[in-house]
């Protein structure tokens, strides 16, 4: 199992986004502060800036950047269309390369999820 930690400016909005749009299960949710979400073998931890140990390990954490995890889907175009109808934000358009097609989706805090 892999674990990823994202800083989120609005934990509750991000929980709704990952649960409702990307089908994560919510294992733990401390409104406004923390959430633990599950998708297959991925654990996604969401921390508000400064909540818990976020910010005590060095530096001032904030969302965004280019680090990301990848969700592989059998129908990328359908998933993109569903997400667009729901008002999701993307960074750019679908990119095609030798490894396949992908697009970068942003969660409500600006963290990136690669859809492949």
Which has the closest alpha carbon to 112: 14, 36, 40, 41?
14
Q: How confident is the model at residue 59 (pLDDT cuts 50, 70, 90)?
A: low
Distance CA 87, CA 105 (A): 11
Percent of the chain with pLDDT over 90: 77
Q: Mean pLDDT across the stretch 36-46?
A: 97
pLDDT in tens, 84-114: 999 999 999 999 877 889 999 999 999 999 9
The pTM is what?
Answer: 0.83
The per-residue pLDDT of the chain, averaged, comes to 90
Q: What is the pLDDT of residue 53?
A: 53
CA dihedral 60, 33, 115, 2 (to 10 degrees): 90
The sign of the CA dihedral 95, 87, 45, 66 is positive
């Amino acid at each position: 199992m892999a674990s990823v930690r994202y800083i989120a400016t609005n934990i509750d909005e991000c929980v709704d986004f990952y649960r409702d749009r990307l089908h994560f299960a919510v294992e733990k949710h401390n409104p406004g502060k923390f959430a633990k979400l599950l998708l297959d073998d991925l654990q996604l931890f969401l921390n508000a800036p400064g909540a818990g140990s976020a910010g005590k390990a060095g530096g001032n954490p904030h969302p965004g950047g280019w680090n990301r995890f990848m969700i592989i889907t059998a129908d990328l175009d359908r998933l993109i269309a569903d997400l667009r109808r729901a008002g999701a934000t993307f960074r750019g358009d679908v990119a095609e390369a030798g490894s396949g097609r992908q697009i970068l989706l942003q969660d409500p805090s600006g963290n990136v999820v690669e859809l492949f």
